[in-house]
């Protein structure tokens, strides 16, 4: 949107310049050529960077996935072509279905709860009471901590014998729950930690969404006698729909990538009970003494396809909103 | 009216306390004696606090902290060098194909790091640069560069054209304009990008574990990871390291809160 505005402004300026000075056509073309050179000179580093540090690793990843690489292949340099065999192997693997289902549960439960809690907190803090600004800033802490720090803290809090969570449950005469070591609770445990980390992001974005709504609308509704509850569902929520769409899509894409938290807390276990696609890919490539890079790359590429589909939806939604 | 506001503050404090309880617990455990670590129920406040955990950090983790600092600073430098000129070009010089590049950068942000790690691993093993600090810096910079370009583009497109024209009239070329006019007025963007690049590099575990786990200089995240793997009993040392590893985040939040908020919302809200 900003780019569009500056383009329009510069077009006006060009027209002014032509009217006043009327430089020769040849000189103007030369000028345009030289600015194009400068423009490209300035983006050349990032283009080169993307080619070397994004395109090439991605290409290597695709190459890995259609060959059968072993550790020996790195030394000898040859790996037989395998076509789509690796993909067929992973789809028929007994880990595929649980990993896909766990990824879906992890992603949707995470973003649904992060978003709901984040939005509720944003509405709460928007009421501007003494200390609201400082408290809101403190809420950012979980998002800024290294993931490894948060994950190890939650591991110890959820420890079956000595964790504070089970001690609290015990005081309420519930439990104990084997949070990290029971297959029925491990996914819930990593979900709790991930939701905790994601709340600040949703809070900050939804808060800035609230700020962009004109106060006149709220005042008009208040004068018309709308209750707080009505104001939220009839006015605030509909007006927040664009920001919400963006937040949810970004949340989806970020959550799909989550690796550190699950790896530190459960390593995807017990068995496959908290294995997501990202964890499975890592397990195959780096998790054992006999790495299977080709299958790991194939799982990774399945993950990329899902991510890119949602990235394209995100870009579409974003540009449609900017056109409004 | 006044009374209601007071209740809101009380509720706000309570919510914040619940949210930050894990952070408090990390500090509490870091001060707990190994002998009371398995106590049930655990001590809610550090009654007979010990600094054993922190002395373990000082004796064992300082080299790791040094490496993390170096990796963080290197990542900031690499990110700024690549992202700032690109942001300027996309915002002001209208390069052919600029729109396509912006699109690629958006998509690049969404590629899972695990896939990048695998690609880097196969390349690094071939070039025999696994375990080097600068190899880790280059890998870590991929987390921040796309974000950096987007921030710089958004920020620099708000620089008034008149300022650039004035520099041009004074005879400054594009490079000179960029270095002596655009970069100085973009200080806020530089701070925001540096802050996040540093924080992400400092917090990175995946690239460190795949590309540097056999290296002589390992970052603090690997220091904590080694602790968790080796001595399950020393949770005060693990949590003390975690507290120390959280210091940059705390410092940045105190010193640069508005930049943090600006960075969080940059990708999501149209300006």
Chain B, residues 75-94, CB within 8 A of chain A, namely: 81-83, 85-86, 88-94
Note the pLDDT of residue A2: 36
Note whether A44 and A125 are same-domain residues: no
**How far is A315 from chain B, CA to nearest CA, in Å?**
8
Nearest to A204 among B210, B221, B265 (CB): B265
Please name the residue of chain B whose CA is at the shortest distance from the CA of residue A59.
B119
Segments in chain B below pLDDT 50: 268-271
Sign of the CA dihedral with A147 first, then A126, A253, and B89 last: negative
**Cα gap A252→A322, rounded to integer Å:** 21
Sorted by where each starts, the structural domains of chain B and their CATH numbers stand as 69-266 (1.10.3720.10)
Nearest to B78 by CA among B205, B197, B226: B197
Note whether A130 and A44 are same-domain residues: no
- Assigned domain for A123 exists: yes
**Cα gap B240→B243, rounded to integer Å:** 5
Nearest to B135 by CA among B63, B215, B221: B215
- What residues of B are in contact with residue A308 (Cβ under 8 Å)? 107, 110
Residue contact B25–A153, C-beta within 8 A: yes
Note the pLDDT of residue A29: 57
**Cα gap B61→B220, rounded to integer Å:** 7
- Assigned domain for A9 exists: no
Q: Structural domain tally of chain A? A: 2
- What residues of B are in contact with residue A60 (Cβ under 8 Å)? 118-119, 122-123
Residue contact A58–B119, C-beta within 8 A: yes
ipTM of this predicted complex? 0.86
**Cα gap B88→B82, rounded to integer Å:** 11
Tell whether B216 is within 8 A of chain A (Cβ).
Answer: no
Structure tokens belonging to residue B220? 């603090």
- What residues of A are in contact with residue B139 (Cβ under 8 Å)? 53
- Assigned domain for A61 exists: no
CB A178 within 8 A of CB A238: no
Note the pLDDT of residue A35: 73
Note whether A37 and A167 are same-domain residues: no
Note whether A146 and A268 are same-domain residues: yes
- What residues of B are in contact with residue A1 (Cβ under 8 Å)? 270-271
Note whether A171 and A246 are same-domain residues: yes
Note whether A122 and A43 are same-domain residues: no
pLDDT in tens, B85-106: 999 999 888 888 888 888 888 8
CA B131 to chain CA centroid, Å, is 21
Mutation target for A interface from B11, B13, B18, B19: give the one with most A CBs within 10 A. Answer: B19
- Assigned domain for A219 exists: yes
Tell whether B37 is within 8 A of chain A (Cβ).
Answer: yes
CB A307 within 8 A of CB B110: yes
- Assigned domain for A76 exists: no
Nearest to A167 by CA among B28, B38, B240: B38
- Assigned domain for A72 exists: no
Residue contact B138–A149, C-beta within 8 A: no
- What residues of A are in contact with residue B106 (Cβ under 8 Å)? 311, 314-315
Give the domain extent around A39.
Answer: 24-53
**How far is B79 from chain A, CA to nearest CA, in Å?**
10
Nearest to A170 among B20, B41, B206 (CB): B41
**How far is B186 from chain A, CA to nearest CA, in Å?**
16
Note whether A103 and A34 are same-domain residues: no
**Cα gap B185→B178, rounded to integer Å:** 10
- What is chain A's pLDDT, residue by residue, as a tens digit (324 residues)? 333 333 333 333 343 344 444 445 555 555 556 677 888 888 888 888 888 888 888 888 888 888 887 766 766 667 777 778 888 888 888 889 999 999 999 999 999 999 999 999 999 998 888 888 888 888 888 888 999 999 999 998 998 888 888 888 888 888 788 888 888 899 999 999 999 999 998 998 888 888 888 778 877 887 887 777 888 888 888 888 888 887 888 888 889 888 999 999 998 878 888 999 999 999 888 887 777 888 888 998 998 888 888 888 888 887 787 666
Note the pLDDT of residue A14: 40
Note the pLDDT of residue A8: 37
Mutation target for A interface from B33, B101, B112: give the one with most A CBs within 10 A. Answer: B112
Note whether A212 and A152 are same-domain residues: yes
Note whether A319 and A207 are same-domain residues: yes
Tell whether B256 is within 8 A of chain A (Cβ).
Answer: no
- What residues of B are in contact with residue A167 (Cβ under 8 Å)? 40-42
- Assigned domain for A220 exists: yes
Note the pLDDT of residue A313: 84
Greatest alpha-carbon pair distance for chain A in Å reads 88
**Cα gap A72→A164, rounded to integer Å:** 47
Note whether A156 and A261 are same-domain residues: yes
**How far is B251 from chain A, CA to nearest CA, in Å?**
11
Can you name the residues that pair with A81 across neighbouring β-strands?
A67
- What residues of B are in contact with residue A47 (Cβ under 8 Å)? 101
CB A265 within 8 A of CB A197: no
- Assigned domain for A47 exists: yes
The CATH number given to whatever domain includes residue A178 is: 1.10.3720.10
Note whether A247 and A103 are same-domain residues: yes
- Residue A226: phi and psi, rounded to 5, are -75, 140
Note whether A34 and A182 are same-domain residues: no
């Amino acid at each position: 949107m900003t780019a569009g505005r500056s383009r329009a402004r510069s077009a006006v300026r060009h027209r002014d310049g032509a009217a006043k000075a009327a430089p020769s056509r040849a000189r103007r073309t030369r000028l345009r050529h030289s600015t194009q050179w400068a423009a490209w000179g300035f983006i050349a580093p990032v283009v080169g960077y993307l080619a070397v540090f994004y395109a090439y690793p991605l290409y290597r990843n695709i190459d890995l996935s259609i060959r059968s690489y072993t550790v020996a292949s790195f030394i000898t340099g040859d790996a037989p072509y395998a076509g789509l065999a690796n993909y067929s192997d992973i789809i028929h693997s007994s880990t595929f279905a649980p990993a896909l289902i766990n990824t879906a549960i992890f992603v949707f439960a995470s973003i649904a709860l992060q978003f709901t809690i984040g939005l509720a907190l944003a509405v709460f803090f928007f009421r501007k009471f003494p200390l609201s600004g400082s408290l809101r800033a403190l809420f950012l802490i979980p998002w800024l901590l290294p993931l490894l720090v948060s994950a190890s803290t939650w591991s110890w809090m959820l420890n079956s014998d000595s964790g504070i969570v089970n001690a609290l449950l015990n005081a309420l005469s519930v439990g104990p729950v084997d949070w990290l070591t029971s297959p029925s609770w491990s996914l819930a445990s990593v979900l709790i930690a991930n939701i905790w980390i994601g709340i600040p992001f949703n809070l900050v974005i939804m808060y800035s969404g609230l700020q962009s709504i004109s106060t006149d609308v709220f005042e008009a509704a208040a004068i018309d006698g709308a209750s707080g509850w009505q104001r939220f569902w009839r006015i605030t929520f509909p007006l927040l729909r664009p920001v919400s769409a963006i937040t949810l899509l970004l949340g989806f894409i970020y959550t799909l990538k989550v690796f550190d938290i699950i790896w530190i807390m459960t390593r995807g276990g017990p068995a496959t009970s908290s294995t997501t696609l990202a964890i499975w890919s890592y397990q195959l490539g780096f998790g054992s003494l006999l790495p299977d890079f080709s299958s790991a790359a194939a799982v990774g590429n399945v993950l990329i396809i899902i991510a890119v589909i949602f990235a394209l939806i995100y870009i579409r939604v974003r540009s449609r909103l900017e056109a409004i | 009216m006044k009374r209601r506001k007071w209740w809101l503050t009380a509720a706000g404090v309570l919510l914040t306390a619940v949210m930050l309880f894990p952070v408090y617990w990390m500090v509490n455990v870091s001060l707990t004696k190994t002998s009371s670590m398995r106590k049930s129920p655990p001590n809610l406040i550090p009654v007979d606090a010990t600094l054993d955990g922190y002395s373990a950090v000082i004796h064992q983790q300082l080299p790791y902290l040094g490496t993390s600092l170096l990796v963080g600073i290197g990542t900031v430098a690499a990110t700024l060098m690549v992202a700032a000129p690109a942001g300027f070009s996309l915002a002001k010089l209208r390069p052919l194909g600029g729109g396509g590049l912006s699109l690629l950068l958006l998509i690049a942000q969404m590629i899972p790091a695990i896939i990048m790690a695998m690609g880097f691993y196969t390349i690094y093993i071939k070039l025999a640069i696994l375990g080097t600090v600068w190899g880790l810096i280059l890998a870590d910079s991929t987390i921040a560069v796309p974000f950096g370009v987007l921030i710089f583009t958004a920020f620099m497109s708000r620089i008034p054209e008149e300022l650039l024209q004035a520099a041009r009239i004074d005879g400054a070329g594009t490079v000179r304009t960029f270095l002596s006019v655009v970069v100085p007025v973009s200080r806020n963007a530089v701070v925001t990008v540096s802050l996040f690049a540093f924080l992400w590099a400092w917090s990175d575990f995946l690239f460190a574990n795949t590309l540097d786990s056999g290296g002589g200089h390992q970052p603090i995240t690997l220091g904590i990871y080694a602790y968790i793997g080796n001595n399950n009993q020393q949770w005060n040392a693990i949590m003390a390291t975690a507290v120390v590893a959280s210091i940059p985040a705390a410092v940045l939040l105190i010193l640069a809160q508005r930049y943090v908020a600006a960075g969080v919302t940059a990708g999501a809200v149209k300006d």
